[in-house]
Structure 1
Amino acid sequence: MLDDLMRAGWPALEEVEVDGWVARFSGGVTQRANSVVPLREPGDLEAALDRVERLYAARGLPVVFQLGPSAAPAGLDDVLAARGYVFGSPTSIQVAAVHAVAADAVPGPDGVEISDVPSDEWLDLWWQVDGRGDQSALAVAGKILLGGAAVYATVRDSGGVAAVGRLALVGEWGGVYCMAVRPSARRRGHGAAVLSGLLRAGRARGITRAWLHVRAENTAALSLYRQAGFTETSRYHYRSHRGQEPVEHVHPEP
């Protein structure tokens, strides 16, 4: 179920089904939107691998697989390793019941602005912190952001926009994305304020549960989410061809 939620929360611009797998393409902007989700075991594993490699080659993109506990077949990670795919980007998936998350008790400055679309200021700060690429990549990222319903949080300080975040709205679930704090404004509670504002806004819109994904080595973010009441439910990682760095203009994990 989380695989489907994450696909909806950060939708690729194009998806192609390959015998139970979903190959995603978005001009190389983010690993998640340009990787294969192996949802079900294909009837012919080698044929499926050959086809996804051709699909990505035709678009000028490296082949990247996103591999979590439900990846099919069960031994796919080992198969890819033997085929020359390289491990990378271990990521923690965390969930929380919104009513149990201390959204109103998270410390941080007041005045969180909530909107249904990202403002230019929101995009500028997010791209400044997490952007990978030029304005054409930002344009693709904007299409991904607007590919599904979401709310956007902005916190300001005397220097302008201090922190931003996004909550994807998928049924009764909310997905936390794009958490970014201006470098000169860090360690002042702005990230906590954004998270609190997003969860309050999501709760007002009927969200009962929330998920997020965060790089396993991001200790500051892990601490923030633990304090807010999120717990890890699983992990995933990527595998890409040896000698091919995934084309990741934007890093969406908070």
Structure 2
Amino acid sequence: MFDELMRAGWPATDEVAVDGWVARFAGGVTQRANSVLPFAAPADLGAALLRVERLYATRGLPTVFQLGPSAQPAGLDDVLAARGYEFGSPTSIQTAPVGDVRPDPSVRIAESPSDEWLDLWWRVDGRGDQSALDVAAEILCGGPALYATVRDTAGVAAVGRLALVGEWGGVYCMAVRPGVRRRGHGAAVLSGLLAAGRACGVTRAWLQVRAENTAAFSLYRKAGFTETSRYHYRSHRGQEPVQDVHPEP
């Protein structure tokens, strides 16, 4: 379920089906939108691996798999490790019911990201130049979402995004301007997003947080989020497909 929610909440700009897997592409912008979701076990594991490796190599990208508890086939993580794929980015999936949240009056909600919103988010979390930001904006606008902004006397202080996927809301792009952190701006953005989401029919929220981000864990715990699942990535940095395929029986 969470794989599909995250896929809808952060959509790639292109997808290719590969025998039960989905290879996602977005010009290399964000790991999530440029990774394989292994939904179902391929009929021929070796052939599927070679095909996705070629697909990513053709685009000049490393081959990356997003691996959670439902990854198929069973044991895929070990197969990738044996092929030289590197472990990285362990991530916690957390959920919370969206009750009667009291919004902070300082939060402004919009249905699309403003230039100021994009500027702060990209300065805090962005990777790349203007062309990468253009791809990121395409990802952001690939599905319905709400965008929260908090301002102070110096301009935009904090931003966040809530992807709208049925009764679920996905919290993304939480960013606070350096120099004004630990002043409650992140909590204000989160409560504003959840309150606005509830008004749109959202009853439960999910988010992903990197395992080492202790400050974010504290913020989300106070808001009632608890860990539901985890995932990580396996990536192969080479630009050529890995050879010597040994499919599992």
In which range does the TM-score fall when normalised by the shorter chain? over 0.9
Alpha-carbon distance in structure 1 between the residues aligned to 2:101 and 2:236: 41
Q: Distance in 1 between matches of 2:102 and 2:111?
A: 21
SS at match of 1:163: strand
8 A Cα contact 1:84 1:242, kept in partner: no
Deviations 1:176-198 (A, max 9, x none): 00000000110100000000000
Who is 2:185 aligned against?
190
AA aligned opposite 2:55 = L
Q: Root-mean-square deviation (CA), in Å?
A: 1.2
Residue 122 of structure 1 deviates from its aligned partner by 0.2
Q: Is 1:89 aligned to 2:89, yes or no?
A: yes
Residues 162-201 of structure 1: pairs in structure 2 closer than 5 A:
162-201=157-196
* Structure-to-structure mapping, 1:213-252, within 5 angstroms: 213-241=208-236
Task: For residues 64-92 of structure 1, give each alpha carbon's deviation from its aligned partner in whole angstroms, at most 9, with x where no partner exists.
Answer: 00000000011000000000000000000
**Residues 144 and 130 of structure 1: CA distance in aligned 2, closer, same or farther (over 3 Å):** same
Q: Aligned residue for 1:160?
A: 155
Alignment partners' CA distance in 1, 2:20 and 2:168: 25
Aligned match for 1:133, one of 122, 128, 137: 128
Q: Give the AA of the match of 1:104.
A: R
Q: Is the 8 A contact 1:156 1:162 kept in 2?
A: yes
Closer, same or farther: CA 190–202 of 1 in aligned 2, 3 Å: same
Give the Cα separation in 2 of the matches to 1:201 and 1:104: 10
Paired residue secondary structure (2:221): helix
Scaled by the length of structure 2, the TM-score of the pair is 0.94
- In structure 2, how many angstroms separate the alpha carbons of the residues matched to 1:113 and 1:37? 34
What is the aligned partner in structure 2 of residue 7 from structure 1?
A: 7
- What whole-Å deviation, never above 9, does each CA across 1:142-187 have from its counterpart, x for those lacking one? 0000000000000011111000000000011000000000001101
2:109 aligns with 114
Whether 2:64 is the aligned partner of 1:69: answer no
| Structure 2: stretches of 5+ with no match in the other structure | 240-249
Name the TM-score, length of structure 1 as normaliser: 0.92
Cα displacement (A) at 1:112? 0.2
1-structure distance, mates of 2:178, 2:71: 36
C-alpha distance 121-242 of structure 1, shift in aligned 2 (>3 A): closer
Percent of aligned positions that are identical: 80
Equivalent residues, number? 239
In structure 2, how many angstroms separate the alpha carbons of the residues matched to 1:175 and 1:47? 34
Q: Which residue is equivalent to 1:250?
A: none
8 Å CA contact 1:103, 1:228 repeated in 2? no
1:205 aligns with 2:200: yes
| Contact 1:69–1:235, Cα closer than 8 Å, also in 2 | yes
Q: Which runs of 5+ in 1 are unaligned?
A: 245-254
